[in-house]
Amino acid sequence: MSKETFTFQTEVSRLLDIVAGSLYSNREIFLRELISNASDACDKLRHMALTSPSLIEGDQDFKISLAIDEKAKTITVSDNGIGMNHDDLLATLGTIASSGTGAFIEQLGKDDKKNMGLIGQFGVGFYSAFMVSDKVEVTTRKAGEKESWLWVSDGKGEYTIESAERSERGTQVVLHLKKDAKEFLDASRVTHVVKTYSDHIGFPVTLTDSEGGKTLNEASAIWTRPVKDVTAEQYKEFYHHSAHAFDDPWITMHNRIEGVVSYTNLLFIPSMRPFDLFDPERKGHVKLYVNRVFITEQAEGLLPPYLRFLRGVVDSEDLSLNISREMLQTDPKLAKIRNGLVKKVLAELAKKAEKAPEDYAQFWENFGVVLKEGLVDDFTMRDKLLALARFHSTKAEELTSLSAYVERMKEGQEAIYYITGEDASQIATSPHLEGFKAKGVEVLMLTDPVDEFWMQHITQFEDKPFKSVTRGSADLDGVKSDDSADADADKKAEDAPALDTLIAAFKLELGASVKDIRPSKRLTESPVCLVADEGDIDVNMERLLRRHGQ
Ligand code: ADP
Ligand code: MG
């Protein structure tokens, strides 16, 4: 096929304009991005070769090679991974598939200095090559295919694709360095960059220059190393790379479990909410490896959806390599791993909740709403999850646990009272709370939609029933009042004889739209409020269901 010329998609052109003109001071991250792509390409092929071994073509030593050519003023990144064919090149190097990119370009436009380092997180890391190059040449052959291709661009709106001669499978990216980027012809500079950003890569990264060749990294996946040999910095870099995250991990859990099923986990709890946390599919993002071979990032059954904020990897030599995703889901060995991981994570959270309550409160603000889904999904962990749960309440300034609430319960108080609604400030002024305030009884304020659901499944905590203050008779009779004036008010409410006539008049007016009208002690200032009957759907739940068209 003769040479074809294409124009970049508009977004790519915009991105390239910014990237090429960038004054970003950490331009070296282009190496991280290209090495990361090379590593992904090796991972992909190794995974595909599980089912199609012929793709390996007799060359199973995956590797990433860097080469510096001082005369030609180029630096080259090569891999023997999956490679790309003509269609792959068109679909990936010229178009932007990922959706978050628009926002990234927007941000970059405002302040490129700060944000360029995030380029990899937005699925456009390849284009960082144009920070340091005025021409990029990609020669590639896809594993299992005969034809190879050359993709060339100067990053100024167009690129070309033509047939090429490449016998090895995989991809070679040649960067023609800009005048002001000659520092990357210096082997020691490149070595330093690779050690800083790419040490965790599980394939050997070698560097060749006029002086000879050497291997730059440990080439052992970071989670296979002993904990004492990994620095906090390395964990962080791995988290950034593998989770496409830019915050720092809040908790890092690196464990080796030996047992009926042996596995290693390197899990992270982010310190910030990942953007897809509320994706309706509730997908997990922990990568599953079998004996260092990447299997899938969406291993259903590896972790429950209520722990989907976790990032990192789980690697087990005891799962079968050739197992299909469907079979994996029901593999009892995977269930064993899941149990172990869930217990480990919840125990780690309990430890933090006790030792660092302020940090834990921040975690809860980020992920509590997701963790609470477990109260409905996983009854085996219910007690542990209830103990981890934190709530806003009418009494405590900070978030409170249920056991702290129970400790504060008033003499004669039988139940844990709660109110649900959309936001705490709105709930706080609810007439339903008046009687509770007057008696000094604490009420938990639940503001997440999920609260309505788990409250239907869980009736009590430490033998104390949960009671909604907007439902039924939410009875405060047994509770001692803080002062006797309130007690008097109670008496008056019961005795008022004129109330019967008033109620009769209301009933006549409202007819079937209400079930009943009763005198109540829950109000001290407002004249009336709506309540749901004991067995009925709660008021806020009704509102929620209505909004979702049910
Ligand atoms: P991301 O890696 O997040 O997908 P990039 O901009 O870094 O985004 O790369 C875009 C795509 O180009 C990759 O998803 C991959 O399909 C393809 N690609 C880039 N480099 C290579 C490579 N060395 N081998 C095979 N495919 C590659
Ligand atoms: Mg990439």
Q: What is the pLDDT of residue 487?
A: 47
| Token output for 38 | 């090379």
pLDDT in tens, 502-520: 777 777 777 777 778 877 7
Q: 109 labelled as ligand-binding? A: no
Q: What is the pLDDT of residue 484?
A: 47
Nearest CA to ligand 1 atom 14: 92
Taking the C-alpha atoms of residue 173 and residue 315, their distance in angstroms, rounded to an integer, is 31
430-448 burial code (b ≥16 CB/10 A, e <16):
bbbbbbbbbbbbbbbbbbe
| Token output for 517 | 């009208």
Please determine, for residue 42, whether its predicted confidence score (pLDDT) is greater than 80. Answer: yes
CA 297 to each of CA 21, 234, 262, 286, 500: distance values in angstroms, whole numbers, following the listed order: 35, 21, 19, 6, 65
pLDDT in tens, 441-489: 999 999 998 998 899 889 899 999 999 888 765 566 667 665 544 445 4
Is 121 touching ligand 1 by the criterion CB < 6 Å?
no
pLDDT in tens, 141-199: 999 999 999 999 999 999 999 999 999 999 999 999 999 999 999 999 999 999 888 88
Please determine, for residue 490, whether its predicted confidence score (pLDDT) is greater than 60. Answer: no
Q: What is the pLDDT of residue 548?
A: 62
Q: What is the pLDDT of residue 492?
A: 53
Rounded to 5 degrees, φ, ψ at 264 are -120, 135
pLDDT, averaged across the chain: 88
Please determine, for residue 30, whether its predicted confidence score (pLDDT) is greater than 60. Answer: yes
Nearest to 151 by CA among 198, 207, 95: 95
Q: What is the pLDDT of residue 497?
A: 64
pLDDT in tens, 386-395: 999 999 999 8
Averaged pLDDT, 236-261: 92
Q: What is the pLDDT of residue 535?
A: 65
Pocket test for ligand 1, best of 126, 203, 241, 246 (most atoms within 8 A of CB): 126
Q: What is the pLDDT of residue 227?
A: 95
Ligand 2 centroid–CA 152 distance in Å is: 18
Please determine, for residue 130, whether its predicted confidence score (pLDDT) is greater than 90. Answer: yes
The Cβ of residue 35 has, within 10 Å, a number of other Cβ atoms equal to 24
Is 81 touching ligand 1 by the criterion CB < 6 Å?
yes
pLDDT over 90 percentage in the chain: 58
Pocket test for ligand 1, best of 29, 37, 205 (most atoms within 8 A of CB): 37
Helix (H, G, I), strand (E, B) or coil at 46: helix
pLDDT in tens, 305-343: 999 999 999 999 998 776 666 777 788 999 999 999 999
> 430 vs 546, which has greater pLDDT?
430
Which of 111-115, 360-364, 432-436, 448-452 tops mean pLDDT?
360-364
Q: What is the pLDDT of residue 485?
A: 46
Nearest to 541 by CA among 448, 474, 458, 417: 448
200 burial (CB, 10 Å; 0-12 / 13-18 / 19+) is: buried
Ligand 1 centroid–CA 221 distance in Å is: 20
Q: What is the pLDDT of residue 502?
A: 78
Averaged pLDDT, 284-295: 87
Is 41 touching ligand 1 by the criterion CB < 6 Å?
yes
Taking the C-alpha atoms of residue 193 and residue 187, their distance in angstroms, rounded to an integer, is 10
Helix (H, G, I), strand (E, B) or coil at 402: helix
Q: What is the pLDDT of residue 544?
A: 66
> Which ligand 1 atom is the nearest neighbour of the CA of 124?
6
Q: What is the pLDDT of residue 242?
A: 85
Taking the C-alpha atoms of residue 11 and residue 106, their distance in angstroms, rounded to an integer, is 10
Helix (H, G, I), strand (E, B) or coil at 266: strand
pLDDT over 70 percentage in the chain: 89
Ligand 1 centroid–CA 3 distance in Å is: 22
Pocket test for ligand 1, best of 92, 104, 142 (most atoms within 8 A of CB): 92
The Cβ of residue 106 has, within 10 Å, a number of other Cβ atoms equal to 11
Ramachandran class of 411: left when φ > 0, alpha when ψ lies in -120 to 50, beta otherwise:
beta
- Dump the DSSP string for 119-133: GGGGT-GGGGGGGTE
Nearest to 95 by CA among 107, 87, 85: 87
Residues in the chain: 550
Taking the C-alpha atoms of residue 36 and residue 244, their distance in angstroms, rounded to an integer, is 11
Do the Cβ atoms of 128 and 116 come closer than 8 Å? yes
Please determine, for residue 95, whether its predicted confidence score (pLDDT) is greater than 80. Answer: yes
Residue 123 pLDDT grade (very low, low, confident, very high; cuts 50, 70, 90): confident
Which helix (H) or strand (E) segment is 148 a member of?
Answer: strand 148-153
Please determine, for residue 230, whether its predicted confidence score (pLDDT) is greater than 70. Answer: yes
Which helix (H) or strand (E) segment is 270 a member of?
Answer: strand 263-270
